[in-house]
């Protein structure tokens, strides 16, 4: 499998995953032209995208979806509740492009997809695990807290794209954010802090996770350095040599991230 975070952050999200013969996107939150540009940067013809899996209906996850899916006749998968919320924005899609998923596992050619619920202030927010034979990658962003069920889905993944949205103290002391917005972000339906993400990853040590891409970082309430340092310190508290046990990276907002190849 080959994986690349094309964009990650409050201004747009999209992740590319490739199996043997199948190419998919998780979310399409940047413009159609920017999706095309970033796919071509990694040597992928946009017309070869088989399907797009949508986590939820917020604009930073669907901004380029309609135009891209119409242009390339791409199938779009998401939860029925999400379709009900965003269907008016997808009026140009053909009915056979709209695939309802209800939380059940399904396949797109050789890719096995498992979806799991995330608590976020959306109609219905999903995380995804994508497997091809013995390789597995998972994506969980836009969640206010983790649960044992979420950890179970993530813990045997070789690579995880995992939200690390904010540094709590930076957020609390940010004069540009009203209290209402701070409370939303900090709530169980908001976004994961660096500390919460680090605690969750610490629970997965020894279960096959080899790399974590910290994702959906707030440009105002976090920095890549803070997110990485918090994770590194937490793993060291567990007695782990983080540089050897688990590789850490950060998804980028304005350019493509690193390309990962997951071998069986």
- CATH number for the segment(s) 2-261: 3.60.15.10
Q: What pTM did the predictor assign?
A: 0.95
Strands 135-140, 111-118: parallel, antiparallel or unpaired by DSSP?
Answer: unpaired
pLDDT tens, 106-159?
999 999 999 999 999 999 999 999 999 889 999 999 999 999 999 999 999 999
Domain chopping of the chain, boundaries? 2-261
pLDDT tens, 71-105?
999 999 999 999 999 988 899 999 999 999 987 79
**Strand order through the sheet with 14-18:** 98-101, 75-79, 51-53, 23-26, 14-18, 2-7, 259-261
């Amino acid at each position: 499998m080959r994986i690349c975070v094309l964009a990650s952050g409050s201004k747009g999200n999209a992740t590319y995953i490739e199996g043997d013969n199948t190419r998919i996107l998780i979310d399409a939150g940047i413009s159609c032209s920017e999706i095309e540009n970033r796919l071509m940067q990694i040597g992928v013809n946009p017309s070869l995208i088989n399907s797009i899996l949508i986590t939820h209906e917020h604009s930073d996850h669907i901004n380029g979806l309609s135009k891209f899916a119409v242009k390339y006749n791409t199938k779009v998968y998401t939860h029925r509740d999400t379709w009900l919320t965003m269907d008016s924005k997808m009026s140009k899609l053909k009915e056979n492009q709209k695939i309802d998923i209800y939380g059940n596992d399904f396949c797109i050619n050789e890719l096995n997809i498992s979806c799991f619920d995330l608590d976020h202030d959306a109609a219905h927010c999903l995380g995804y695990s994508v497997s091809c034979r013995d390789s597995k990658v998972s994506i969980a962003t836009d969640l206010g807290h983790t649960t044992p069920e979420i950890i179970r889905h993530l813990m045997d993944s070789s690579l995880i794209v995992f939200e690390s949205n904010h540094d709590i103290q930076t957020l609390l002391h940010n004069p540009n954010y009203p209290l209402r917005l701070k409370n939303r972000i900090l709530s169980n339906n908001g976004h994961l802090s660096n500390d919460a993400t680090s605690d969750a990853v610490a629970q997965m040590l020894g279960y096959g996770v080899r790399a974590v891409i910290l994702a959906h970082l707030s440009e105002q309430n976090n920095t890549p350095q803070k997110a990485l340092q918090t994770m590194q310190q937490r793993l060291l508290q567990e007695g782990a040599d983080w540089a050897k046990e688990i590789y850490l990276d950060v998804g980028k907002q304005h350019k493509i991230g690193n390309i990962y190849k997951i071998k069986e």
